[in-house]
Amino acid sequence: MSDIIYLDHAATTPIDKEVLDAMMPFLTDQFGSASTLYSIGRKASEAVEEARERVAALIGAHSDEVFFTSGGTESDSWAVNGVVSAKAKKGSHVITSKIEHHAILEPVHLLEKQGGTATILEVDSDGLVNIDELKDAITDQTVLVTIMHANNEIGTIQPVGQIGRITRERRIHFHTDTVQTVGHIPVDVNVIGCDSLALSAHKLYGPKGVGAMYIRKGARIDRFMRGGGQENNRRAGTHNVAGIVGLGKAAELAQVRMAEESVATTKLRDMLIAGIESRIKDIRLNGDRVNRLPNNVNFSFDGIEGESMILLMDMNGICVSSGSACTSGSLDPSHVLMALGLKHEQAHGSLRMTLGNDNTPEQIEKVLDTLPGIVERLREMSPLYNQ
Amino acid sequence: MIYADNAATTRISDSVLKQMLVFLQEQYGNASSQHSLGVKTKRAIERARRQVATAIGAEPSEIVFTSGGSEGNSWVLSSVNDGHVITSSIEHHSVLNTCRSLECKGIDVTYLPVDSKGRVSLDSVEKAFRSDTKLVSIMLANNEIGTIQPIAEIGECLRQRGILFHSDAVQAVGHIPVVVNDLGVDLLTASSHKFHGPKGTGILYKRHGVSLPPLIFGGQQESGVRPGTQNVAGIVATGYAIEESITNMAAMTAKLSALAQATTDGIRARLPGAVINGDEDNRLPGIVNVSFNGVTGESLMHWLDLKGICVSTSSACTSANDEPSHVLMALGLTEQQARSAIRISYGRYNNIDEVETIVATLSNAYDKILSAKI
């Protein structure tokens, strides 16, 4: 296992040992349901509330504005559906961007089918949304603006603070998908000015199957899953206590470690980008060079398929991806890369390497020793590459 | 501590936890990733899907993993867009509250009554049919009183009429035989933490050909019907937990029935005014729901808690709520009787000595509380 070089942290991260240690009591002796009133149940509910405070602290929210869900996708679906149905009287126009996660785009498309309207903003060649276009798109029917904080494929960070100022002025609900940023770069709900945000534990060294939704006090959003009165009657279901505790611990660790980790990761990122650019020609760095997540590297390599690169890298013990994991079953080129204006072949020829706190400079060296040979080999066999 | 609230949640089995830990530690890949770490977790999920399918007599492709029972129930019920829905008055709140939201959208819902033992009659289902009935949702076994419904009979009747049939089997799966084709259900929900798996993972059985629009939207996971990065550890654990429960079921049924019987006998002997709620001849093996005269269930529950015994007043999901149990009220109990009830629910790790302690402590608690009041 230790031989593997894992460069797919945007897909998921390993669970931190301290996080798992915090979870273990709730997977064993402390197995009570957090909704029960006897002592073992109260211990579970206290642990859930402590986790809520930790998540709230990480994003600058009040703990009663944090609701636990099964993950980022659920939170995003809830936001779109919940805001649109709560504001049906005002209108049903939604503004989003072309490069959002499918957890946002799919419910928006459904809304369009059901008679609502949506403005899906273009992005520039680095993946940035244009603020003026966003402003112009607002109508008196607009009930929701949803723009992700940072993109999962190319790492471009959007000017969410500026968007928050606009939406606040216009009194429009602003949701932001912060699945890729919480725990990695500062996320403060008041700095961003968002009314809701989605986050996921397994992207910040917590477990899969648990996430959270921040909903600003007073923001109108309909309930999603109905049932028992859990989560202040807004999200039913027996609490995933161990998972929630894991998310809380991961949030606590992130708050302590983030500054240092992002410096270290940025160094590795820049080393990887510079190394690839100096050793391999006919490539394109996808995403904004400056407004970029500390851990994201995404390149298109002319003339070859990302999928073949993944397999050959994997045979060398290096885990990378071609785009988002969520759509890897699909043969379509990445909607994010296509939105940047890339050609089909370029989008298919992309490789995403996302770093984490378990990566070392030695590993990056090994990647830089391995990748050029793989690209060369694939280009030799490629009918598409003619240099 | 004596834990007798297994209908609320169960302890994860040690052998299940061992399998789960592999995926909380070294096998952390995203099951949608194409590299070898992802392929390994994907294979583990598909194995779990086969384990679940085998356990309930379904095809693996008919199994969808969810975040739990409430998601499954909420998903199925909220998919109805028009017409009429039939359910029972003793369903779980995830069914009932979703039905209330359907009513707000103008959909008619019939809440079938139950008899004094908590049984829905086939006759009442048939009488409730309308030409625009879109869905019937009846739970397989009740979470508070354990009464098992005649799902197979209802299923046969619905199949003849071609009406979609859902059953909330959260309390039943892993405890009594659940075979989807015998039951004639099109949709069925289950939850892992009720059969010694982890919290936060559930199962939705969706018969081939049944179309159910997604509740959650996003990527391609779970064949696109239930997106979101899969909870690999939870899913793997669900597979092993259901397999283990099925393997142990016959022995466990015998053991739990004996514990429940001993509890019932003990309570009747020591507390003549106590009334057993539900259907003693037709209930889940480990559940005893009992009402007392002159005390509240809550006071009994707290007393037992102080003595290290965990039981509940009704369902865990509503225990923070002030309303008397809707299930007990539907049986025809008075509000006082409903508020006096406690639920004792046994599981794999209980034994007969614990039953004696529970009955003795309960009878002592009853006397003390009653005398304190007077």
pLDDT per residue as tens digits for the range A90-125: 999 999 999 999 999 999 999 999 999 999 999 999
User: Which CATH code of 3.40.50.300, 3.40.50.720, 3.40.50.2300, 3.90.1150.10 fits the domain covering B2-10+249-373?
Assistant: 3.90.1150.10
Q: In the predicted model, is pLDDT for residue A234 greater than 90?
A: no
Task: Indicate yes or no: CB of B69 within 8 angstroms of CB of A237.
Answer: yes
Q: So what's the pLDDT on residue B269?
A: 96
Q: State mean pLDDT over A3-22.
A: 97
In this predicted structure, what is the pLDDT of residue B316?
A: 53
> Tokens 């996430």 — which residue?
A211
Euclidean distance between CA atoms B188 and B207, whole angstroms: 9
Reply yes or no on whether the pLDDT at B104 is more than 70.
yes
Please report the DSSP string for B33-45 in residue order. Answer: -SSHHHHHHHHHH
Torsion of CA A178, A181, A183, A189, to 10 degrees: -50
Check whether B303 has a pLDDT greater than 90: yes
**What is the pLDDT confidence band of residue A3, given thresholds at 50, 70 and 90?**
confident
Nearest-CA distance A24 → chain B (Å): 10
Summary mean pLDDT of chain A: 95
> Using CB atoms, which residue from B25, B193, B218 is nearest to A326?
B218
Tens-place pLDDT, residues B111-126: 999 999 999 999 999 9
Any chain A CB within 8 A of the CB of B6? no
Comparing A71-85, A114-128, A184-198, A222-236, the range with the smallest average pLDDT is: A222-236
Task: Quote the percentage of chain A above a pLDDT of 70.
Answer: 97
Give me the half-sphere count of Cα atoms (radius 13 Å) on the Cβ side of residue B216.
27
The answer for residues whose C-beta is within 8 angstroms of residue B119's C-beta and 6 or more apart is B147, B149, B150, B279, B282
Q: Which of B229, B231, B311 should be substituted to probe chain A, the one whose Cβ sees the most A Cβ atoms within 10 Å?
A: B229
Give the pLDDT score at B323. 83
Tokens linked to B132: 């625009």
Which of A77, A238, A319 is nearest residue B218 as measured by Cβ atoms?
A77
Residues of chain A neighbouring B16 (CB-CB closer than 8 A): none
Question: Rg of chain A over CA atoms, in angstroms?
Answer: 21
Contacts of A225 in chain B (CB under 8 A): 70-71, 74, 94, 215
Cβ within 8 Å, pair A37-B220: no
Residue range B174-198: mean pLDDT, rounded: 98
A31 touching chain B per CB within 8 A: yes
Q: Indicate the Cα dihedral angle B219, A178, A244, A264, nearest 10°.
A: 110
Measured distance CA(A292)–CA(A371) in Å, rounded: 22
Looking at the complex, does the CB of residue B8 fall below 8 Å from at least one CB of chain A? yes
Whether pLDDT at B373 is above 80: no
pLDDT in tens, A349-369: 999 999 999 999 999 999 999
Say if residues A181 and A197 touch (Cβ distance below 8 Å): no
Condensed to tens digits (0 to 9), the pLDDT of residues A134-174 reads: 999 999 999 999 999 999 999 999 999 999 999 999 999 99
CATH superfamily ID and name for A5-12+258-381: Aspartate Aminotransferase, domain 1 (3.90.1150.10)
What is the least distance, in Å, from the CA of B226 to any CA of chain A?
Answer: 10
- Indicate whether B363 pLDDT > 90: yes
Position B306 scores a pLDDT of 95
Helix extents (H) in A68-208: 72-86, 102-113, 131-137, 160-170, 189-192
Contact B70 A322 (CB under 8 A): no
Name the average pLDDT for chain B: 95
pLDDT at A1 (0 to 100): 44
Q: Is the pLDDT of residue B321 over 80?
A: no
Within 8 A by CB and 6+ apart from A173, the residues are A83, A87, A143, A144, A145, A167, A195, A196, A219, A220, A221
Letter string b/e over residues B80-108, b meaning 16 or more CB atoms within 10 A of that residue's CB: beeebbbbbbbbbbbbbbbbeebeeeebe
Query: What are the pLDDT digits (tens) for A302-350?
Result: 999 999 999 999 999 999 998 765 555 567 889 999 999 999 889 999 9
**Considering only residues 207 to 246 of chain B, which have any Cβ-Cβ distance to chain A shorter than 8 Å?**
214-221, 227-234
User: Touching check for A227 and chain B: CB below 8 Å?
Assistant: yes
**Closest by Cβ to B25, choosing from A20, A31, A321:** A20
Question: Given this model, what pLDDT does residue A324 score?
Answer: 62
The domain limits of chain A are 5-12+258-381, 17-253
CB contact under 8 Å between A77 and B73, yes or no, is no
For the segment B159-182, the average pLDDT, to the nearest whole number, is 97
Mean predicted confidence (pLDDT) in A250-263: 97
Q: Mean pLDDT, to the nearest integer, of A285-305? A: 97
Using CA atoms, how far apart are residues A265 and A273, in angstroms rounded to an integer?
12
Q: How confident is the model at residue B372 (pLDDT cuts 50, 70, 90)?
A: confident
pLDDT of B319 higher than 60:
no
What pLDDT was estimated at residue B374? Answer: 59
**Residue A2 in this model has a pLDDT that exceeds 80:** no
Structure confidence by residue, pLDDT tens digits, B35-79: 999 999 999 999 999 999 999 999 999 999 999 999 999 999 999
The candidate with the shortest Cα–Cα distance to A154, out of A5, A329, A332, A346, is A346
CATH assignment, A17-253: 3.40.640.10
Question: So what's the architecture of B14-247 in CATH?
Answer: 3-Layer(aba) Sandwich (3.40)
Active site residues of A: 326
CB contact under 8 A, B93 and A32: no
**B5, closest residue in chain A (CA to CA):** A32
Query: CB distance from A155 to chain B under 8 Å?
Result: no
Contact list, A237 vs chain B (CB under 8 Å): 67-71, 94
Catalytic residues of B, which ones? 317
pTM beyond cutoff 0.90: yes
Would an 8 Å CB–CB cutoff place A331 in contact with chain B?
A: no
Task: Over range A238-267, report the average pLDDT.
Answer: 97
User: Does residue A381 contact residue A312 with C-beta atoms inside 8 Å?
Assistant: no
Q: Where are the domains of chain B?
A: 2-10+249-373, 14-247
Taking only the tens place, the pLDDT of each residue in A269-287 is: 999 999 999 999 999 999 9
Query: Residue B228: which of A74, A238, A321 has the nearest Cβ?
Result: A74
**Are the Cβ atoms of A70 and B231 closer than 8 angstroms?**
yes
H or E stretch including B373? helix B352-373
Q: How many angstroms separate the CA atoms of A140 and B136, rounded? A: 41
**pLDDT number for residue A82:** 95
